[in-house]
Structure 1
């Protein structure tokens, strides 16, 4: 059994601690399927954490932190445990954070509503959540470009890569192929449902493809505009006078409240959306495994195992376009057999040139690529 550790360093009465513990426990319930768990400990228990454990330290910074907290920070640094310093205002980071963590980039938690973003960062550090952080904004240039740009800047400031078709596809690229690949490779879609979005040539195709690829998100709905039926699986966010500004009845921008609502909803949904996407990917695998008498055990955010009474097979898993790290992980986990490793991903939307690139790398690493929707490929598994 693999245990993961979140080490929270700070005052026991800090309200941020209880909120973070609750959020982390909620997001890691599925670890029970693989017999794993997330153990959340305070600074007094840091020496009980195994040296080789998957761990991350969260420091709830304040002025005048005690000796036990400073010692715990030093112990985490000595073990090379990733550290996330948390402050209420980054402008005061150097005066609030203890000297032991000032070399790390801090996380600003000025509002408890942002605890979802912090929880996501913790899970990313532990390898339990995809760290690519990619957002696809679907919008109509005619009446929502300004809002799209606002959101692009806000998401970028929170370490996301943002795809917008007006600026993200280089000249000369096959527009629709690149667009669908970027969509399949995203964590979430933000659909700006403005009056003109229904006239946008590709919007219905984008939303239908997102549904097919298992990529969900939020639908930001302009006043007096009906929710798109095609985007019914998106969580709605209705614009009003509190979260948007308008001139002559036309939305011109989101307010700071509106921007925060979009950011927080995506942050709150990311782990659940990843679980949903993994579940969709594993559904045909489970169906095929039943015909062979295998049991399928998912390991949150990482891989799956197929096994019967005799054989156990590890298959690494990637959402969207596999990265070099995905390939490295599959290669390192490989057994001595040929092919050297197995990587499961859905090729839906991946361009021919990207597929050729993956095949080139896979052949040199002796990796076997498995498509969850093609049962014929699974017959090569012993």
Structure 2
């Protein structure tokens, strides 16, 4: 099968360490119901031999490599592959990684160990549980039972699943929370039943997701024709055999087909949205006569401004939170660092009030920046 995620390990690595990394990675992926060598590929070798498909999430750990391979690392980063240098100890980092690779955020095995290296690899490929989100859109009177089954199955794969009956607390503004969670999702999974587009709410969810650019996965009920509006959606066509004799309930095979569809749609979604965010950021920065460098730990970049400043930038897919701001401060870059995000459609009042409040108090360390305005903001960064 074609893998959903593409991982790699480059450079001079002892065989026993490779075995430890592979075992830890296998265990971590198993928690997500993913299998190394099937849904997730692992390449081991020189950067020049790694040929990713390119339209799905990927990342690499880079141990010591020959100098002539540095340009190949740079080429992979331009394709959206985050590369994390891994040194044996923090004291020898500069000697093991001179020049361009040495400028990237890296880790030292003597401090983080095998577990830390695997978590860094998975984080850069958006494979940590806190990075996985899906919005489940359905018409209650037609598919509530199936929606609950899928909620449970996707949650078991460590997805953060939004289901309106489970995820909006009493007293909160229903519609604002709904749109906020939609903006924060990797995939809109919609259960295309006969009356799906006749509901005001599901019709609006579909329309907002389309406008936001969130990929659509259509779980098509038997005999439901494809709507002209859903032509760009990926479809999982269900048949009568995908349902049990108990009315409205999916079989285990049907649930697995849909969950696998979510996984494949998600990896394409995240890769495409991340590239779009970086492209917007780069265009804005270059308009201000700056430039963007690198792609490494936690998918961080460095923006070089025209006045000689170098700003560490952390792209955020979805809706930034206070944890996103904290996460951006963990690599000891000179403050302030930036969290860059796409602010289109992100307008819940409580979120804006909270983020305005928190950034006012931590703006000396980290700041929120719209990708569209990045060049403007960085022009007088201080």
Normalised to the residue count of structure 2, the TM-score between the two structures is 0.68
From 20, 31, 41, the counterpart of 1:22: 41
Partner of 1:201: 200
**Is 2:375 the counterpart of 1:361?**
no
User: How large is the RMSD of aligned CA atoms in angstroms?
Assistant: 3.7
Gaps of 5+ in 1: 11-15, 40-47, 54-75, 85-120
Preserved contact between residue 123 and residue 129 of structure 1 (Cα < 8 Å): no
Partner of 1:87: none
Partner of 1:170: 169
Partner of 1:285: 281
Q: Write out per-residue CA displacement over residues 117-158 of structure 1, whole angstroms, 9 at most, x where no aligned residue.
A: xxxx97774443163222210010110111101101111112
> Does the C-alpha gap of structure 1 residues 77 and 192 become closer, same or farther in structure 2, counting only changes over 3 Å?
farther
Q: Write out per-residue CA displacement over residues 347-376 of structure 1, whole angstroms, 9 at most, x where no aligned residue.
A: 333411111111222222223211113465
Q: CA deviation at 1:229?
A: 3.3
Q: Following the alignment from structure 1 to structure 2, what is the Cα–Cα distance between the partners of residues 80 and 143?
A: 50
Q: Write out per-residue CA displacement over residues 199-256 of structure 1, whole angstroms, 9 at most, x where no aligned residue.
A: 1102232122223333214111112212233333321111113323478xxx722211
Partner of 2:114: 81
Preserved contact between residue 156 and residue 162 of structure 1 (Cα < 8 Å): yes
Q: Following the alignment from structure 1 to structure 2, what is the Cα–Cα distance between the partners of residues 164 and 19?
A: 29
Gaps of 5+ in 2: 1-8, 25-34, 44-49, 61-72, 92-108
Answer 1 or 2: higher relative contact order, Cα 8 Å, separation at least 6: 2
Q: Following the alignment from structure 1 to structure 2, what is the Cα–Cα distance between the partners of residues 240 and 284?
A: 41
Q: Following the alignment from structure 1 to structure 2, what is the Cα–Cα distance between the partners of residues 254 and 357?
A: 40
Preserved contact between residue 82 and residue 125 of structure 1 (Cα < 8 Å): no
Say which is worse superposed, 279-288 or 173-182, in terms of deviation.
Answer: 279-288
Partner of 1:344: 340
> Does the C-alpha gap of structure 1 residues 163 and 255 become closer, same or farther in structure 2, counting only changes over 3 Å?
same
Partner of 2:252: 256
Normalised to the residue count of structure 1, the TM-score between the two structures is 0.68
From 300, 303, 310, the counterpart of 1:303: 300
Preserved contact between residue 214 and residue 276 of structure 1 (Cα < 8 Å): no
Q: Following the alignment from structure 1 to structure 2, what is the Cα–Cα distance between the partners of residues 205 and 271?
A: 25
**Is 2:227 the counterpart of 1:189?**
no
